Chains A and B, each alone.
Chain A
Amino acid sequence: VIWMTQSPSLLSASTGDRVTISCRMSQGISSYLAWYQQKPGKAPELLIYAASTLQSGVPSRFSGSGSGTDFTLTISCLQSEDFATYYCQQYYSFPPTFGPGTKVDIK
């Protein structure tokens, strides 16, 4: 099983800020990483797959980077609708595993 950590676990930010969330793997996964956004009481939504490919319909202020064991999700200019919890997920090996999440809240 591949274990994942995310940092920070809580990020307080303001509208317009540039925010960066880190996801680290217990072993290399090439670029087999996805990012999801989850708002309270809602299902997760796919933002990025293959580490850096934006899902259709996702705003371009979201971007992903990294390969191997270290990955980053960046929101270039935080909007009010971006306050949510973000999860990374590896699909390099079965079972697919998720990071513990990063909650982005209002400063």
Chain B
Amino acid sequence: QVQLVESGGGLVKPGGSLRLSCAASGFTFSDYYMSWIRQAPGKGLEWVSYISSSGSTIYYADSVKGRFTISRDNAKNSLYLQMNSLRAEDTAVYYCAAGRMKGAYFDYWGQGTLVTVSS
């Protein structure tokens, strides 16, 4: 069955860095467009970053541009998010999500990994 499993979350001080990973299985990862979406505690959903199936096209939300870097390794069926210069407002559950169609809806979601930015 389809699985997306995030890892790499944790507690980090403001200004610090974390690298999130998302391991995919049960579907043809290289055919899917991938995104990171976050949800601050008690809040709604916020799209963070997008990468095309080949990795050639990447977009970021303005709130993370210049600080976060998305990447993927289709040979390893994995998605990554390098997060630098973290701020308190980056505290959230980070979900990886997969879509069959470019820039569309999200068919599959991981269970999420919590990132807490606090001193």
Chain B residues whose C-beta falls within 8 Å of the C-beta of A55 in the assembled complex: 107
- Inter-subunit contact B106/A95 (CB<8 Å): no
Chain B residues whose C-beta falls within 8 Å of the C-beta of A97 in the assembled complex: 47
How many B residues, CB 8 Å from partner? 18
- Inter-subunit contact A94/B103 (CB<8 Å): yes
- Inter-subunit contact B103/A96 (CB<8 Å): yes
A45 CA / B112 CA spacing, docked (Å)? 13
Chain A residues whose C-beta falls within 8 Å of the C-beta of B50 in the assembled complex: 94-95
- With contacts A42-B111, A43-B95, A43-B112 taken as known, whether A99 is within 8 angstroms of B105 at the C-beta atoms is no
Indicate which residue in A43, A49, A99 contacts B109 across the interface (CB closer than 8 Å): A43
Q: Which of B61-119 contact A (CB under 8 A)?
A: 61, 95, 103-107, 109-112
- Inter-subunit contact B109/A44 (CB<8 Å): yes
A89 CA / B95 CA spacing, docked (Å)? 15
Q: Which of B37-74 contact A (CB under 8 A)?
A: 44-47, 50, 59, 61
Question: What would 7 A/B residue contacts be, using CB atoms closer than 8 Å?
Answer: A91-B103, A91-B105, A94-B50, A94-B59, A96-B47, A96-B104, A99-B44
Known: A44-B109, A89-B45, A101-B44. 8 other contacts (CB 8 A): A32-B104, A36-B45, A42-B111, A46-B105, A49-B105, A94-B59, A95-B59, A98-B44
